[in-house]
Every structure is written in C-alpha cells, then in structure tokens.
A and B are shown apart, each in its own frame.
Chain A
C-alpha cells in the first residue's frame, strides 16, 4: 500500500515563527503536492514538485516555500507564520506512469493553529 506520512498531526505556533511541515512517501513517486484545506473551499494547491529540486507554484503560494532535496521527501515552509495560515495542510504524491498517474495519495494531514 502507498504510504504518505506527515511529521505532525497537530501543531501550534506563534505569529512570526518559522514553521516546517514534513512529508514522506514510500512509493518512489515522482510527483508531490502540498494543499491546504479550509471549510467550504475544498483543497487548494500551494506548491507541487515533479522531481527532486524542482518546484512549481500552485494556486495559493504566497507566504509559503517548499524544498525537495530527496525524492521521497517534500517540505512546506512558512517563513513567518500568520493567523490566516491556520488551516489543515495535506501532502499528496502520485506516480507518472500507468492509468492511475493522476491518482494522488494523501497523508493524514497536519492541523496547524497559529496564535
């Protein structure tokens, strides 16, 4: 089974702190994604990566950056956390071959509260 793990399930940070959210997948997937989930808005794409050291902006990249130094690991960074970044953050991965290449597999999510 595909396994996507996220470093924390719950996180509380203060405004202005630098926050690191880590995601690891064990399926040798090329693609990795970071979303945030807010009630009524569904999942909105923050950043994604199609390869190591490669990154592309999603729909809402402002206030975030990412790092992909190894294929299995994709990190989301909040350089200076703000209260409007309080949200559920979901990491996902997908492969690049076969009929299921669009299928993204999700981690359990990190619920971040910024005070």
Chain B
C-alpha cells in the first residue's frame, strides 16, 4: 500500500537541542498529522494540519504542511528528556478517509 517516507529513522538528542524530522510522499495528501508514541503506549496526536503551507505550533512543537501537499515536517525546540519516543507522521487523502503512516522516527537521548 501507499507509504510515507519518514526521516531520519532514528536520532539522538541532547537536552536543549532543536531537532527536526520530515515526511515525504509521491502523492498528495489533504491532511497531515503528527503522533508521538511513548514506550508501551499507543500513539497520541500532537498536531494536525489541514491547509497547504499551514504552520502550527503546540508548545515546543512546530509542524508545517508543505506547499506541494506532498510533505510535512516537525520541529521540536529545546528538547527535554521526555521528548524521547517514536514520532509518526500520517496523511489522509479525504475527510473521513483512512490514514497512511510513515515508518516513524525514534528519538533517543544521547548517553
């Protein structure tokens, strides 16, 4: 089925750093969503984007819906230890339609 390409697959963060991850597709999506999954839990919605070019923030998180509608990125500013987890992008082609998920970006703390 349709896949979203999410990168990087994993990254190490040091407290206070800004980090970025992105998601790309060969086809257009009308909605982009970013989820975070803590260990042993289900994914939780962080940010939803509904318009091309839209830039939305949720605390230290900022996400953008690409102009071409084929990509999105998520930034985390001033990272803290509890930011570790797996971040997933997801896209929807139409209202009420099923979501397509990226492979996830695993965020780890630098030893």
Chain B residue contacts of A33, Cβ below 8 A: 98
Which secondary structure characterizes the binding site on chain A? loop
Asked if A96 CB lies within 8 Å of chain B CBs, one says: yes
Cβ of B104: which chain A residues have Cβ within 8 Å of it? 40, 42
- Give a binary string over B58-99; 1 marks a CB under 8 Å from any A CB, 0 the rest: 000000000000000000000000000000101010011111
State A99–B54 Cα separation when bound (angstroms).
Answer: 15
Are the C-beta atoms of A31 and B41 separated by less than 8 Å? no
Q: How many residues of chain B have a CB within 8 Å of chain A?
A: 28
Nearest CB of chain A from residue B31's CB, rounded to whole Å: 5
Q: Which of chain A's residues have a CB closer than 8 A to the CB of B48?
A: 100, 102-103
Whole-angstrom distance between the alpha carbons of A41 and B103 in the complex? 5
A45 at the interface (CB under 8 A from B): yes
User: With contacts A33-B98, A42-B103, A44-B1 known, is A106 near B43, CB below 8 A?
Assistant: yes
Q: Is B28 an interface residue (CB 8 A)?
A: no
Given contacts A45-B99, A104-B99, 19 further A-B contacts (CB under 8 A): A9-B40, A31-B96, A40-B9, A40-B103, A40-B104, A42-B6, A43-B43, A43-B90, A44-B101, A45-B98, A59-B1, A101-B96, A102-B92, A102-B97, A102-B99, A103-B45, A106-B35, A107-B42, A108-B40
